[in-house]
Structures are given as structure tokens and as C-alpha cells.
């Protein structure tokens, strides 16, 4: 578990508001797959990215310009990482249906509880983006990876 400081949490919220506002003003569609508050979802995603960076000594991209897709972090070996976050303890790793398999190398699932992030595991993109993982959880079809299918971090 990674504990984020109050300052890190404030940065995550500020970046979430700025990204959300910039994206909506620029016509970038919101691809969220849940019914929660969009700012809270963005904040949780950013704090999970920051926590992953903190854990693995990487610096997340905190820019706020309009963008679509791409990696959240890139490791020193060039591995492209997309960090997914949820507040649900039994939450699944969700990937939007139009994500190309080559966009990132691995997806990571983090469970966010306030300012704490617990990284459950990861999955390679080519293992996640497969027809057998397509499901509709009530907000449209996407790739759904259960926690027990994720590889654990060493």
C-alpha cells in the first residue's frame, strides 16, 4: 500500500479538475465506465498514477493539455504503463473497448481508499485486449479483467 501525503492528494485533485475542464472544453469525450462523479474518478486515477510513480521511482505525466489515450508512465526500460483505479475493494480492471493493443504494454489496477493506493496486480495488454474479456457491466461493452487474473507485483 502506498500512502500519499496531503500535498500529493491536493495536487491530484487540482490536476483532475484542470484535466477534466480542459478535456470537456476541447471536445474530448468522457469514456468513464461507471456512474461516479467524473472529477472524483479523475482524481482517483491521478492519485493512483502518482502512487505508482512513487512506488517505482517514476514521474507521472501531470500535464493538463487535451489528449486521448497513451501511457500514464514509462519505465526506465521503456515499458508503457496505464494505471487504472477504482474505489471498490473487489473492483475489476476496466479497459475501454476502442483501446488498441499496442497503445500500452501493461495495465495496472490500484484500489484507492482516500489517500492510500493498494496495487492489486497487472496484466499485459495482449492478454487483456481479447474477445473473451469483453463484457457489459451496465455502462457499455469494455474489456473486464478480474482481480484473480492479474499478475502480482514482486
* Cβ atoms 83, 72 nearer than 8 A: yes
User: For residues 29 and 137, what is the distance between their CA atoms, to the nearest angstrom?
Assistant: 19
Report the topology of domain 2-149.
ECO RV Endonuclease; Chain A (3.40.600)
CB atoms closer than 10 angstroms to residue 96: 13
pLDDT in tens, 48-103: 999 999 999 999 888 887 777 789 999 999 999 999 999 999 999 999 998 999 99
CA distances from 139 to 3, 58, 67, 105 (A): 31, 32, 22, 25
pLDDT in tens, 28-43: 565 555 567 888 988 9
Amino acid at each position: 500500500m502506498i500512502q500519499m501525503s496531503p500535498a500529493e492528494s491536493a495536487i491530484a485533485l487540482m490536476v483532475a479538475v484542470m484535466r477534466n475542464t480542459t478535456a470537456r472544453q476541447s471536445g474530448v469525450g468522457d469514456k468513464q465506465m461507471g456512474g461516479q462523479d467524473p472529477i472524483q474518478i479523475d482524481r482517483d486515477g491521478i492519485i493512483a498514477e502518482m502512487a505508482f510513480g512513487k512506488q517505482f521511482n517514476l514521474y507521472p505525466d501531470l500535464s493538463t493539455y487535451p489528449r486521448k489515450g497513451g501511457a500514464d508512465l514509462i519505465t526506465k526500460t521503456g515499458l508503457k504503463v496505464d494505471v487504472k483505479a477504482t474505489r471498490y475493494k473487489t473492483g475489476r480492471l476496466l479497459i475501454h473497448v476502442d483501446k488498441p493493443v499496442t497503445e500500452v504494454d501493461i495495465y495496472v489496477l490500484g484500489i484507492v481508499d482516500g489517500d492510500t493506493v493498494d496495487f492489486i496486480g497487472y496484466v499485459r495488454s495482449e492478454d487483456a485486449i481479447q474477445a473473451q474479456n469483453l463484457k457489459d457491466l451496465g455502462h457499455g461493452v469494455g474489456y473486464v479483467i478480474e482481480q484473480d487474473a492479474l499478475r502480482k507485483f514482486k
